[in-house]
């Protein structure tokens, strides 16, 4: 297909003057609208106004300008159908062989905090209509929506004199992807407000579900080298998170597994408020904590967390909920880690970390917006073959006032503090899981066993191997105990208090076991399965 006439109407004017000039030099007639037409004329390019084509002026402040049969007839007409060609001749419709359109900046308008009226005005109508029309008729029309494709189109025209079917199909796929993304963005925004434009936390499980993400980068590979991988992010997310984090250092790019582990580590440390709970340090391996502790300083929290399992920490991910200091930075550089993420870094600390060329250093640039957790990104998505599982993010927190002591003995003040700490940590451990905690340190972490008692035994055994004393510790379980065996195992290693959801048909036996061992036991009524 050799284009005779091109309709150009772009919001993003990057490269459009050079592109239009090249088309014009190749003998293509340029039709344009509004600001695009003015820009091209100022650049000395011959331009025909859209109103000249349609015989109808732009009206309603530009809301209606390309929605006209002479535009869409020229785009949609099949050149291989005699009936279409006769209709064009009878109605005076001129063929349009190329449409160059990108859309009103809806996303950018929302992000800059514009008024609802301005946002609504930046919902493009004519643009997507032309894009879809041209993409549908790709057999005869080229649709160009991405400035990065200008060079490819001009190169092909100069070399062959036409735009190939292969290129037109490539452009059509990109065009439909663009309009799908654009409409999904509008839907996401409208679901985030009420009819008067006030923000709402909408958790509607929609039918159908249409979601959209923007690519951050390609990855070296997925979980394994034989799997391709890419990183995408939600468009309107405002809470501090890995998707919005800035990479400050590290020669290697982040991997699929790095990003997954960074998300788990940052999620865990931000369970704790650095002002009220203390500075948190988590060391993550394969999305599970192998070290977690609170401290008065980052270095104290890190040293306590490292002692939990220094062997597994090798090659792990470190996260903090507070600024990284030079003191802890020096300690971190003594060992090999893949990544570190924190709200901020002391400048000296950053210089120290930069001495490790392969250590990826990320910052969320503070914790502002943490209160929006679950507002901009309320759901989790898990792909299965042929389907998608959708659920609310697990953001529920325990209200200490609503906890139920079910044993004869109540926890001591120290036990209460460790129980609440341990229950926050166990939420981030793959099920079945238990966490032993003592003085703000997760001294034993039982990960992903198929029976809860095995998780309790494995965690205790690992603590023993690391020389950690469980005497006087507390135990948290992310789900109820189906039998008393885990309580008996905990008693053997010196646990004095337990926190768990409760709800088993054998709760009575479990509570009796705790009473026999002189333990305190607390029910939360909240389960934290993590698969």
Active site residues: 136, 286
As a whole number of Å, the CA-based R_g of the chain is 30
Distances (CA, A) of 404 to 371, 400, 525, 526: 27, 9, 9, 11
Question: Among 483, 478, 485, 489, which residue's Cα sits nearest to residue 508?
Answer: 483
| Angle at 107 (CA atoms; ends 106, 111), nearest 5 degrees | 120
Q: What is the DSSP string of 357-390?
A: TT-EEEE-SSSTTGGGTTTS--EEEEEETTEEEE
The dihedral sign for the CA sequence 344, 347, 353, 359: positive
Coil, strand or helix at 441? strand
Residue 22: burial class (beta carbons within 10 Å; 0-12, 13-18, 19+): middle
Question: Among 268, 293, 278, 263, which residue's Cα sits nearest to residue 429?
Answer: 268
Give yes or no for a contact between 288 and 445, defined as CB atoms under 8 angstroms apart.
Answer: yes
DSSP letter assigned to residue 148: G
Q: What is the DSSP string of 221-283?
A: -SSSTTS-EEEEE-SS--S--GGG-EEEE-SSPPPHHHHHHHHHHHHHHTTS-TTTT-EEEEE
C-alpha–C-alpha distance, residues 343 and 423, integer Å: 23
- Tokens in use for 248? 């400050």
C-alpha–C-alpha distance, residues 511 and 520, integer Å: 9
Cis preceding-peptide flag for 208 (omega within 30 of 0): yes
User: Crossing angle for the helix pair 485-492 and 452-465, nearest 10 degrees?
Assistant: 10
Coil, strand or helix at 407? coil
C-alpha–C-alpha distance, residues 436 and 415, integer Å: 12
| Angle at 120 (CA atoms; ends 118, 125), nearest 5 degrees | 125
> Residues near 5 by Cβ (< 8 Å), separated by ≥ 6?
28, 29, 31, 74, 94, 95, 96, 97, 98
DSSP letter assigned to residue 401: G
């Amino acid at each position: 297909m050799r284009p005779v006439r091109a309709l150009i109407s772009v919001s993003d004017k990057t490269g459009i003057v050079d592109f239009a000039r090249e088309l014009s030099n190749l003998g293509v007639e340029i039709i344009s609208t509004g600001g695009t037409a003015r820009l091209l004329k100022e650049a000395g390019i011959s331009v025909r106004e859209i109103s000249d084509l349609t015989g109808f002026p732009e009206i309603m402040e530009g809301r209606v300008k390309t929605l006209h049969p002479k535009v869409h007839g020229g785009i949609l007409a099949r050149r291989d159908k005699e009936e279409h060609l006769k209709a064009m001749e009878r109605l005076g419709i001129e063929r349009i062989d190329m449409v160059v359109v990108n859309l009103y900046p809806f996303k950018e308008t929302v992000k800059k905090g514009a008024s609802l009226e301005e946002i609504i005005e930046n919902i493009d109508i004519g643009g997507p209509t032309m894009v879809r029309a041209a993409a549908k008729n790709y057999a005869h029309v080229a649709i160009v929506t991405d400035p990065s494709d200008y060079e490819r189109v001009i190169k092909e025209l100069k070399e062959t004199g036409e735009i190939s079917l292969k290129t037109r199909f490539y452009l059509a796929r990109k065009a439909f992807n663009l309009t799908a993304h654009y409409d999904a963005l509008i839907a996401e925004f409208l679901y985030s407000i009420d009819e008067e434009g006030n923000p709402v936390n909408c958790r509607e499980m929609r039918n159908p579900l249409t979601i959209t993400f923007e690519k951050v980068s390609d990855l070296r590979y997925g979980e394994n080298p034989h799997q391709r991988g890419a990183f995408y992010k939600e468009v309107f997310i405002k809470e501090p998170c890995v998707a919005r984090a800035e990479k400050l250092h590290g020669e290697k790019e982040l991997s699929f597994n790095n990003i997954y582990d960074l998300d788990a580590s940052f999620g865990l440390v931000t369970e704790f408020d650095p002002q009220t709970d203390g500075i948190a340090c988590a060391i993550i391996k394969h999305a599970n904590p192998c070290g977690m502790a609170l401290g008065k300083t980052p270095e104290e929290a890190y040293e306590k967390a490292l002692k939990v399992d220094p062997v597994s920490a090798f090659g792990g991910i470190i996260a903090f909920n507070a600024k990284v200091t030079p003191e802890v930075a020096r300690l971190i550089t003594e060992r090999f880690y893949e990544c570190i993420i924190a709200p901020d870094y002391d400048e000296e600390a950053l210089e120290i970390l930069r001495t490790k060329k392969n250590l990826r250093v990320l910052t969320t640039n503070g914790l502002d917006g943490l209160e929006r957790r679950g507002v901009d990104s309320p759901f989790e998505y898990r792909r299965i073959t042929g389907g998608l599982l959708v659920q609310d993010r697990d953001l529920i927190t325990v209200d200490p006032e609503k906890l139920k002591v079910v044993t004869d003995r109540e926890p001591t003040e120290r036990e209460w503090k460790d129980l609440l700490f341990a229950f926050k940590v166990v939420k981030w451990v793959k099920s079945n899981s238990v966490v032993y905690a003592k003085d703000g340190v997760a001294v034993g972490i039982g990960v992903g066993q198929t029976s809860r008692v095995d998780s309790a035994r494995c965690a205790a055994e690992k603590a023993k191997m690391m020389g950690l004393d469980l005497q006087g510790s507390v135990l948290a379980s992310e789900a109820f105990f189906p039998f008393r065996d885990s309580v008996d195992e905990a008693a053997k290693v010196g646990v004095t208090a337990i926190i768990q959801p409760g709800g088993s048909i054998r709760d009575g036996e479990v509570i009796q076991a705790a009473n026999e061992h002189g333990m305190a036991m607390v029910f939360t009524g909240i389960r934290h399965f993590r698969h």
